[in-house]
Structures are given as structure tokens and as C-alpha cells.
Structure 1
Amino acid sequence: MSKSEVYGFQEMSKTFKELGGDFNTTAERVVTLTTNKAMAVAKDNTPRGQYPDTVEFTTKDGKRVSFKVTQKVGGNLIRSWHTGNLKKTKRKISKEFSNAAEYAMYVNNGHRIVRKGVTIGYVNPQYFLEKGLTVAEQAMDKLFQVEVERLKKKHGL
């Protein structure tokens, strides 16, 4: 789970009032846009399972079996993304986004592959959550700047 948050209400609120804007409304809009942008980037970087169209295996009696199946493309991890409600306190505004799939953190952070108690491999991390957060941090400043510029332009400053 991750959050987009805005701190420093007093200073920013004062600036917005001087410019004739409502800081709380702007902060809510910026936090929501930032969270949505972060989640979109996280979803774009979430891997999609690709399954083969042929199944092959050896039976107990040693016979090799192979047959075609309808090719399946995964998507449970992507469908499991969701955002929470906007939360406001006196000091901050936040909105969470998370992935409800119980294996999401293992795909994001990487994990060992263990068979019969022995580590036989490692799945590399995808870091889709971190990629979303990086974009969110960069976007939030830009979105506030756009809002300040809009207010300045509106009031001829």
C-alpha cells in the first residue's frame, strides 16, 4: 500500500489565499490526481502472466503427452489495484492505493523459489510500486505549480 500526501498546510494555504484560491480544494484535487497517476504507472509496470498454448508432460508409465489449449493471458495482479478514499486531517491530506492480490508484494519485491525446503532459484523484483511512487513525487510538485500559475494568471499576477 502506498499514499500520496500533502504537508505544510499553513504556508501553502496562505499563498493560495493571497492568490484568491482555495488551498483545500486544490490540495484534494492534486492528491487525487497524483494518486491516480502513481497507480496508473504501477499498473503499467505490473507484469501480465503469459501462459503457453501447449501443455506437455510425462505420465507415470513414461508416456510423453502433449496437447494444445486455449492460450491464457493473466491479469489478476492488474485487476487487483484500487484506490482508497481521500483522508483529511488538520495537518495532511492523503489517499492510498494498493494491490489486494496476496502475492503482489512477492512479485514487487522478488522472492526465492523453494522446493522441498531447498532454494532452487530466485525471481527478480519488479518494483512496480516504487516506479509509481517515483512518478507521483515528481508529479505532485508540477501539479501544484500548474495550480499556482493558473491562479496567478486568473488574477493578472
Structure 2
Amino acid sequence: MSSDFIYDEFLAFANKFHKNLQEETFIVDVMNKLGNLMIREVKMKTPVGKYDNSVFFVSNGKLLVFEAGSTARTGGELRRNWILDGVESTGDGYAVTISNNTEYASYVENGHRKADHSGWVEGQFFLKITMEEILDQLPKIVGPAYEEYLRGFGFS
């Protein structure tokens, strides 16, 4: 059995392999895709406040309510403020961070005591639900991306 070693083909393969062998870049790219998916999904689940034309005001420790002349409005600040902070190396892994700097985000997510201390407002858990869904989908997201990455080396 005779096999010829073709140096030019091997060199071309080695150069392609070296060029594509950027595992960290692959991981960061996949983590950014996951972060963008998390942002998209959590935004869809984040509730948007609907406000009537009442105005609340506290004076001398008493809650006063006035009806404003304008029409009802819709909120959306909490939904708009989701951002992808980025991907960073964490020891032997990588972490993608998303955040929302809206002051009341944690109260809507986790629940809170009513302002008059008469009970509890249940949390919406939109972030928790989103993270659970993303974790369930992880093999379907990362698997095809990794196969495409390997195809870059000439593996099928």
C-alpha cells in the first residue's frame, strides 16, 4: 500500500486549522448570541405598566389622589432598560451578564410588600422564567453552532 504525503495540502490544512483555531472567539461569540437571546426573551416577558389618569401625592404623611386631566398612559421603562453587559472569562468558564438598572426591577421580579403594608404583591419572575427556558434550549443553541465551528476545520 502506497500513500503519498502531499506537503502543500498538509500545509494548507494546517494553516486553515491554525486560522480557525480560535476557541475563545467561538465561545465569546456563542455567549453573546445567548446574551442577545436572553435580552429578547426577557423583554417579551417583562410586564409593561398601564396607568390611569390618577396622580398620587403624599402630603403630611397622608396619601392624596387626584384625577389628572390627561388620558391614561402606558409605561415600558422596565422593558426598555434591559442591556447586555458583556461576556467575561470566569476561571475555567465564561459568564454572560444582562442587567436592568430600573430602580424597581427587583420588586417586580421577586415581589414586594404593599406600600400600605396590607399584604404582598407576588413577583412576576420574568427573568427567572427566561433563564430556565434558555437553559432548556442550550443544547439546541450551542450544538449547531459548535458543528458549524468544526466545519470550519474541514470536519463534517
Q: Percent identity?
A: 27
Partner SS state of residue 85, structure 1: strand
Q: CA deviation at 1:28?
A: 0.8
Which of structures 1 and 2 has the bigger CA Rg?
A: 2
| Residues 1:106 and 2:107 aligned together | yes
Per the alignment, residue 47 of structure 1 pairs with 47
Amino acid at match of 1:120: S
SS of the aligned residue for 1:120 comes to coil
For 2:80 and 2:100, the matched residues in 1 are separated by 9
CA-based RMSD = 2.7
**Could you tell me whether the CA contact under 8 Å between 2:26 and 2:149 is conserved in 1?**
no
Q: Counterparts of 1:4-15 in structure 2 under 5 Å?
A: none
Report 1:20-59 matches (<5 A): 22-52=22-52, 54-55=53-54
CA contact (8 A) 1:108 1:125 kept: yes
Letter in 1 for 2:123: P
For residue 151 of structure 1, report the CA deviation from its aligned partner. 4.3
- 1:35 & 1:56 partners in 2: Cα distance? 38
Question: 5+ residue gaps in structure 2?
Answer: 1-16, 57-65
Aligned partner of 2:104: which letter?
Answer: Y
Q: Secondary structure at the match of 1:47?
A: coil
Counterpart contact for 2:54–2:67, Cα < 8 Å: yes
**Matched pairs, number:** 128
Q: What's the secondary structure of 1:86's corresponding residue?
A: strand
Q: Please list every run of 5 or more consecutive structure 1 residues that lacks an aligned counterpart in the other structure.
A: 1-16, 58-64
- TM-score (norm. length: structure 2): 0.68
Deviations 1:114-134 (A, max 9, x none): 42xxx3122111001112211
User: What corresponds to 1:73 in structure 2?
Assistant: 74
Query: Alpha carbons of 1:24 and 1:66: their partners in 2 closer, same or farther (altered >3 Å)?
Result: closer
- The structure showing larger relative contact order (alpha-carbon pairs under 8 Å, at least 6 residues apart) is 1
Shift of 1:32: 0.7
Q: Secondary structure at the match of 2:86?
A: coil
Corresponding residue of 2:134: 136
- Check whether the contact 1:76–1:101 (CA below 8 A) recurs between aligned residues: yes
